[in-house]
Amino acid sequence: MGVGLLDLLFFYSNPARGTARIVADTDIWWHLRNAAELLRTHHFPHTAHWTFTVAGQPWMNGEWLAELPYSFAYHAFGDRGLYLMTMIVTSAIVLGVYWLAHMRCGSWRGAFLAAVVTAAFATVSLAPRTLLFGWLCLVAELAVLWNLEKGRDYTAWLPMIFLFWVNAHGSWFIGFVLMLVFFACGWMEGAWGDVIARCWTPPQKRKLLLVTAASFAALFVNPYGWRLVAYPLDVAYGQNLMIQSAAEWASLDFHSLRGKVVLAVFAILAILQLVRRCHWSIQDLAFALIAVYGAFTYVRFVYLAGILLAPMLGAAFGMGPESFPDKPRQKVNALLMALMLAYLAFWAPSQQQLQAGVAAEYPKKAIPYVQSLAGQGNLFNDVNWAGYFEWNAPNVKEFADTRLDVFVHRGVMGDYLNATSLHDTFAVLDKYQIRYVLLERNAPMAYLLAHSAGWKTTYQDAQAVVFERVR
């Protein structure tokens, strides 16, 4: 068990595999600024104020609780802290799935297979993202739900899980739906081929209704009240432009390696079902359908599928206890966890390696020049660089960043997409009275401005170029 899991962590932590770029996530920089502002002011923001286009407009920071660990890690260890925090949370998720799979199938080999699958699926979000804390909450929720199937009632923990979850990430909505589906399936009794439904007892039904009500009430214990609870519905139905433009909201590409791996895992699960004729609880069937639909529809939910399906995959292999004892004890697990975390810390890329990885993704050399533009006029910027400059050049008011919700609702994101796709580019720049434009050197919009008499190049390096309007 120990060697296998250490090998799995080596996959993530070996600097030779390009992990120096793991901290170069587009969102982490404004997450760090959010956390810094919260710690400095001790007040939760209710308006946006880092860009000139939506300054003063209503905005909620619904991920504040998940931002704090990254902030503390960054201030303690710099970029290396972001790396370590990412690896610690990811490893906790993978180890959690290992434990869930072992609980379900009683086999360390089946559990290890589940952990490997989850680790492979986790690469879709292997970055310092607040979403990781949402998936960690999902693992905790599944531990409670699947223990209930085995007669161990820890459902009193569910309200506390959702209290943390709603303040950490909007993925709590997925967890709440899964809880409702799990409980609702227990109102049925019967067998349909290999699918079995067992009804909750009347005392269990009363307890679960109470737990559901308490969990729902816990959602409203947040700095923004009902508005934060309603936010996932706004994402689903009011932010179509964001979903259409963000790569992680695209459908799974089956021509890519990730798509082929996901399809292979699903195919193996289906084949095992046909060969071994495993019995499924109706709850497992519902979760499997949700996992498959989520992974096929949005690539970001490949991670969700890994957490939901991997333990079922381990159980589907039908591996009972091996011929040698398989009774992990708490002390052994604690020692292994300590060794793994020490291993991560020892083999983590150096600060210099991580900074080089960040510099390869973001225009570090342009920071002094961009800082000099503060107060000189409106700046149109590449949104993927926005958070980086919000963190490193905080006095500069930009056009937009990757907090897409507020920009979608105010029409700013639509204008941004029109400008960068060369549809009404000059009309958009005129509309917002743009004086400076910061882009990648090879961007189509950069080519257009470079060949326009109305704009001149005032700065350029290997990555970035800045244009100024000719007055």
Is position 234 within any domain? yes
Residue 256: count of CB within 10 angstroms of its CB: 11
334 and 401 fall within a common domain: no
Cα 293–chain centre separation: 18
| DSSP per-residue codes, 32-84 | HHHHHHHHHH-----B--SBSSSTT-B---TTHHHHHHHHHHHHHHTHHHHHH
User: Is residue 58 in some structural domain?
Assistant: yes
Cα distance between residue 194 and residue 73, in whole Å: 48
What's the pLDDT score for residue 321?
A: 44
Q: Are residues 145 and 280 in the same domain?
A: yes
The residue-averaged pLDDT of 231-239 equals 86
pLDDT at residue 311, as a whole number: 85
Instruction: Classify residue 48: in a domain, yes or no.
Output: yes
Residues 149 and 106 occupy one common structural domain: yes
Residue 347: pLDDT band by 50, 70, 90 thresholds? Answer: low
SS3 398: strand
Q: Cα(first)–Cα(last) distance of the chain, in Å?
A: 68
Q: Is the pLDDT of residue 185 over 90?
A: yes
Residue 294 belongs to a domain: yes
Could you tell me if 244 and 390 lie in one domain? no
**Whether 145 and 214 share a structural domain:** yes
Decide if 310 is inside a domain.
Answer: yes
SS3 state at 155: helix
**Mean pLDDT lowest for which of 109-113, 278-282, 426-430?**
109-113
Instruction: Tell which of 345, 380, 397 closes a domain.
Output: 345
pLDDT tens track for 379-403: 999 999 999 999 999 999 999 998 8
| pLDDT at site 118 | 86
Residue 380 inside a domain? The answer is yes
Residue whose pair of structure tokens reads 């619904």 in the numeric block: 62
287, 400: one domain:
no
Which stretch of 116-120, 207-211, 326-330 has the lowest confidence by average pLDDT? 326-330
The secondary structure of residue 350, as a DSSP letter, is P
Phi-psi region of 56 (alpha: psi -120 to 50; beta: other; left: phi over 0): left
- Its domain, for residue 255, covers 2-345
Lowest-confidence range among 10-14, 117-121, 293-297, 345-349?
Answer: 10-14
129, 25 Cβ separation under 8 angstroms: yes
Same domain, 314 and 383: no
- Whether residues 391 and 288 fall in one domain: no
Q: From 319, 345, 371, give the residue that closes a domain.
A: 345
User: 450 to each of 213, 283, 428, how far by Cα in Å?
Assistant: 60, 59, 17
256 and 397 part of one domain: no
Helix (H) or strand (E) holding 420: helix 412-420
Taking only the tens place, the pLDDT of each residue in 412-421 is 999 999 999 9
Among residues 345, 380, 395, which one ends one of the domains? 345
Please state the pTM of the whole predicted model.
0.90
Does 352 map to a domain? no
Please indicate, yes or no, whether residues 277 and 139 belong to a single structural domain of this protein.
Answer: yes
Same domain? 314 vs 371: no
Residue 351 lies in a domain: no
Q: Are 2 and 336 in contact (CB under 8 A)?
A: yes
Same domain? For 19 and 94 the reply is: yes
| AA identity, residue 421 | S
- Domain total in the chain: 2
Strand order from edge to edge, sheet including 464-469: 378-381, 434-440, 464-469, 455-460
Cα dihedral 247/248/249/252 (nearest 10): 90
DSSP string of 170-235?
Answer: TTHHHHHHHHHHHHHHTT--EEETTEEE-PPPHHHHHHHHHHHHHHHHHTT-STTTHHHHHHHHHH
Confidence of residue 17 (pLDDT cuts 50, 70, 90): very low
Q: How many other CB atoms sit within 10 Å of the CB of residue 133?
A: 24
